[in-house]
Amino acid sequence: MTRGAMKRGALNLRSSPILLPWLLLLWPTGASAHILGDQAGGFVSGFEHPISGLDHIVAMVSVGLWGAQLGPPAIWLLPVTFPIVMAFGGMLGLMGVPLPGTEIGIALSAVGLGAVVATQARPPLWVAAVLVGFFAIFHGHAHGTELPPDESGVLYSIGFVMATGLLHLCGIGIGLIHRWKAGELTMRLGGVGVAITGCVFLWDALT
């Protein structure tokens, strides 16, 4: 294969099969629905959990939006940091370690992430990663403690990690519009919207 045939960044058939491992992981849903009964419910309820709360959705999409604004390497580092630290929080939740103020933390994450998108804040990379990680713990803990009884913890975990990653991807996808002036402005306004939503949830959580 000559160099010319592999354009840098081009979507070609050789690269697209990378979806295969993730298709393999989706397999359990189909087969398990018939065979394993409730256990399969674990994956579905896990997948639904992040998207069942507007507070979760806006925060996770915002991580993708901010990554898109900051560009590489943040564009992939932030959506990698969030799930890993979130998993740590989820692990604590599954283990029964209490974390005070989870709802407040989640609401604050929407406020904070909305604010950085609105202002296009450009802190050093490590600061961004720490901020994202700090918020991720609250989200993860919430997912971990809200595992429905009698459902497979492992499948639930796979579900919510995948849903989170896909929400980040949505944010990154939406974030592609920032190349245009109008798109950039729209994203910043979106950030304002997220921050306001966060304030509403914060009010809810505090009262």
Partner 1 sequence: MAVATPAQAHLMNSGFGPFYDGLAHPLLSPEDLLPAVAMTLLAGLGGVRPGRFVLAILPAAWLVGMVAGWAIGLPGAPAWLTAVVTALLGALVASDLRLPLAVVIAVAAALGTLHGYDNGRDLAATAGALVAIAGIACSLFAIVSLLAGQVAVLRAQWARLAVRISGSWIAAIGLLMLGWSTRS
Q: In this structure, what token pair is assigned to residue 2?
A: 């000559």
Q: How far is CA 26 from CA 31, 32, 189, in A?
A: 9, 10, 35
The runs of H, that is alpha helices, within 52-152 are 54-70, 74-95, 102-119, 125-145
Q: Which of 28, 41, 112, 171 binds partner 1 (CB under 8 A)?
A: 28
Q: How many C-beta atoms lie closer than 10 Å to residue 91's C-beta? A: 14
Decide if residue 124 touches partner 1 (CB under 8 A).
no
* Size of the residue set binding partner 1 (CB under 8 A): 46
Report the residue number, 94 or 113, with the smaller CB distance to partner 1: 94
Q: Which residues contact 6 (CB under 8 A, 6 or more apart)?
A: 12, 14
Question: Site map for partner 1, 127-166, x if CB under 8 A?
Answer: -----------------x-------xxxx-xx--xx--x-
> Measured between alpha carbons, how far is residue 90 from residues 67, 85, 99, 141, 182 in Å?
23, 9, 11, 4, 38
Tally: H helices and E strands in the chain = 8, 0
Q: Is residue 176 part of the contact set for partner 1 (CB under 8 A)?
A: no
Contact flag: residue 15 with partner 1 (CB under 8 A): yes
- Which is closer to partner 1, CB of 11 or CB of 182? 11
Amino acid letter for position 172? I
Residue 27 burial by Cβ neighbours in a 10 Å radius (0-12, 13-18, 19+) = exposed
Within 146-180, residue ranges assigned H as helices are 153-175
Binding range to partner 1, per CB under 8 A, among 29-37, 58-66, 111-119, 197-205: 29-37
Indicate whether 180 belongs to the interface with partner 1 (CB under 8 A).
no
Nearer to partner 1 (CB atom), residue 17 or residue 124: 17
Can you tell me which of 2, 4, 21, 182 binds partner 1, judged by CB under 8 A? 21
Tell which positions 73-102 bind partner 1, by CB under 8 A. Answer: 76, 79-80, 83-84, 86-88, 90-96
Residues that bind partner 1 (CB under 8 A): 6, 8-10, 12, 14-15, 17-18, 20-22, 24-25, 27-28, 31-32, 35-36, 39, 76, 79-80, 83-84, 86-88, 90-96, 144, 152-155, 157-158, 161-162, 165
